[in-house]
Structures are given as structure tokens and as C-alpha cells.
């Protein structure tokens, strides 16, 4: 995808957590026609995250930190993982997109808040001879 950062166009960021990957577009409200603030995979964010406002607040934290929550519309495409991993990957993608908007002012604020940290923990692969990554079959002495 191409970063079209000229004028008032889409700014995008990519975030990952566990098995989920999110591509987030930030669109200034002057360009958008609808009044939906956040859209995830074509659904309103409230419906996608099953009315769980913990996830919604978690997603909007980077925008609140830099005081831009009413300025941008969020369009997120997420795949893989569960709702918690998806919410975290959306948050990281939003923080990275905000750094593209104004790196000098926003990056120190977001970095100090811990929004630019990538949680690299992923599922460990299964090894041969074992049932799961580390679970061995029961040992029998006789």
C-alpha cells in the first residue's frame, strides 16, 4: 500500500499482536461523509467488539493522548486472533499512523505512554514427539 500523505488524504498504519494483524486508515473528518467515528471490518466498532467499551476505550487511547479523538475517522481491517489481540493491534496501528502525521510532536508522547511497543509474544510451534509445544506424553516406567 502506498502512503498518500499529500493534502488531506488517508494515513495508514499497520499493527500486530499475537495472531492478529490490523491495517488502520485515519481519515480527517472533513473528507468523510458519515458520522461514524470508528469502523472495523465494515461494522461499527461498538457492534464488532460486542458493546464492550473496554476495547473501544483501549483503541481510542492514542488519539486521546494527542487530543485528536474528534478529528479523525478510523477505518480498520483486522484479521486473525481474538478480540483482545485485535484491539491491541488496532491501537498499535493507530499510534503508528499518528507518528506519520506529526513525528516530532506525537512520537515522544506516544512512546512515553507505551503505545508504540510491539508485543512480540506469539504461539510457540509444536515439536515432534510432543503433544503440544512443550506437553509430553505421559511417562510410563514399566
Q: Taking the model in full, what pTM does it have?
A: 0.83
Q: Which three cell numbers stand for residue 50?
A: 460486542
Q: Which of 128, 124, 72 has its CA nearest to residue 97? A: 72
The number of beta carbons lying within 10 Å of the beta carbon of residue 47 is: 10
Checking if the pLDDT of 14 tops 90, the result is: yes
* Count of positions (residues) in the chain: 142
Positive or negative, the CA dihedral 38, 20, 61, 7 is: negative
Label the pairing between strands 38-40 and 20-28.
unpaired
Checking if the pLDDT of 1 tops 50, the result is: no
What is d(CA 37, CA 134) in angstroms, rounded to the nearest whole number?
Answer: 44
The number of beta carbons lying within 10 Å of the beta carbon of residue 106 is: 21
What pLDDT, on a 0 to 100 scale, did the predictor assign at position 8?
56
What pLDDT, on a 0 to 100 scale, did the predictor assign at position 33?
55
Domain boundaries, the chain: 11-113
pLDDT digits (tens, 9 = 90+) for 41-98: 999 999 999 988 899 999 999 999 998 888 889 999 999 999 999 999 999 999 999 9
Confidence of residue 102 (pLDDT cuts 50, 70, 90): confident
Domain covering 11-113 in this structure, CATH number:
3.30.230.10
Q: Helices 103-113 and 83-101 sit at what angle, rounded to 10 degrees?
A: 150
DSSP strands (E only) in the chain: 11-17, 20-28, 38-40, 43-44, 72-79
How many alpha carbons fall within 13 Å on the CB side of residue 62?
29
Amino acid at each position: 500500500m502506498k502512503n498518500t500523505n499529500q493534502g488531506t488524504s488517508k494515513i495508514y498504519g499497520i499493527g500486530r499482536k499475537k495472531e492478529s494483524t490490523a491495517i488502520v486508515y485515519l481519515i480527517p473528518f472533513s473528507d468523510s461523509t458519515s458520522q461514524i467515528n470508528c469502523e472495523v471490518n465494515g461494522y461499527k466498532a461498538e457492534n464488532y467488539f460486542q458493546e464492550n467499551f473496554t476495547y473501544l476505550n483501549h483503541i481510542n487511547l492514542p488519539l486521546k493522548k494527542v487530543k485528536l479523538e474528534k478529528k479523525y475517522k478510523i477505518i480498520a481491517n483486522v484479521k486473525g486472533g481474538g478480540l483482545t489481540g485485535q484491539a491491541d493491534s488496532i491501537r498499535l496501528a493507530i499510534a503508528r499512523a499518528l507518528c506519520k502525521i506529526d513525528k516530532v510532536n506525537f512520537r515522544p508522547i506516544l512512546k512515553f505512554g507505551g503505545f508504540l511497543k510491539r508485543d512480540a509474544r506469539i504461539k510457540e510451534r509444536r515439536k515432534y514427539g510432543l503433544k503440544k509445544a512443550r506437553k509430553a506424553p505421559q511417562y510410563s516406567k514399566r
